[in-house]
A and B are shown apart, each in its own frame.
Chain A
Amino acid sequence: MEFTRRGAMALGAGLAAALMLPAQALRAAADDKIAEFTGGAAMGEGGITLTTPEIAENGNTVPIEVSAPGAVEILVLASANPTPDVARVSFGPLAGAQRLSTRIRLGGTQDVIAIAKMADGSFQRAANTVKVTIGGCGG
C-alpha cells in the first residue's frame, strides 16, 4: 500500500475521531450522574473542598478527602472511569463535621468531581485533576 498525503490525513482524522468517542461518552455519563443528583440546578463553587494528590503513582489507591461544612449529602465522581460513580455520602445528625477521607481507584489521568448538596437545597461543586501513572481498573 502506498501512503499518500491525503490518505494519511484521512487515516489520522479517523483515528482521532475513534479515540475521542469513548472519552465523550464517558464525560456524558458523568454529566448524567450530576444532573440526576442536582436535578439540573446551578452549582456554586467554594463551599466544598476536595483534596486530592496532584500525581498518583498508583491508580489503585488514591487518597482523597471531601469536606463541605453544612452539607447533607456529597456525591463523588471520577469522570473517566469505566463507571463514573465513586461514592455518595449522607451525613446524619451526629456527624461532627461534613468531612470524609477515603481511598479510591482511578483508571487514568482525569478529573475527580465532588458535589455537595447543602441543607438549604443549593449545590456546591469542586473538581481536581489527578495525574495517574499506573491505572487502577485492571484490564
Chain B
Amino acid sequence: MAEGVKPRVKAPKTAAAGETVVIKTLISHQMESGQRKDSDGTPIPRSIINRFSVAFNGQNVIDVALAPAISTNPYFEFEAVIPEAGDMVFTWYDDDGSVYEDVKSIAIG
C-alpha cells in the first residue's frame, strides 16, 4: 500500500431535492508514472490510482479510468444530482489492490 494516502472530499451537507451540486475531491497519492528513473538509472515501477468512482445511494454518478498522465494527488471536480437524502460513496482503486473509500451524507433541507 502506498503511504500517506488520504482522501479529501468537499461536498455540501444539505441540498434541495433534485438540486445539482458541485463535488470536489482530492486524494494524496504520489501517482508514480513508471517513466521516471532513480539516481542509478533504474526505472521506478508504476504505482498509481487507476480508477475512481462515485455512487449516490448505489446509483452511479461518475466513473473515471485514470492513466499515469494524471497528476500527483489526483483532483476531480464534477457535478451530481441529489434526488433524495443519502450517502455519497467515493472509491479510489490503487494499482497494488488497495481500495480507499470515503462517504459523505447529504441531507435534504
Contact = CB atoms under 8 A, between A and B. Distances in A.
Contact of B75 (A94, A103, A106): A103
B64 A87 contact: yes
Determine the main DSSP class of A at the interface with B.
strand
Given A92-B62, A92-B63, A103 B70 contact: yes
Contacts, number: 107
Interface of A: 60-62, 65, 78, 81-83, 85-97, 99-106, 136-139
Given A95-B62, A106-B69, 10 more contacts: A60-B72, A65-B77, A92-B55, A92-B62, A92-B63, A96-B79, A97-B79, A104-B69, A105-B71, A139-B35
20 contacts: A61-B72, A83-B68, A85-B67, A85-B69, A89-B64, A92-B55, A93-B59, A95-B78, A96-B81, A100-B64, A100-B76, A101-B75, A101-B76, A101-B77, A102-B74, A105-B33, A105-B70, A106-B69, A138-B37, A139-B36
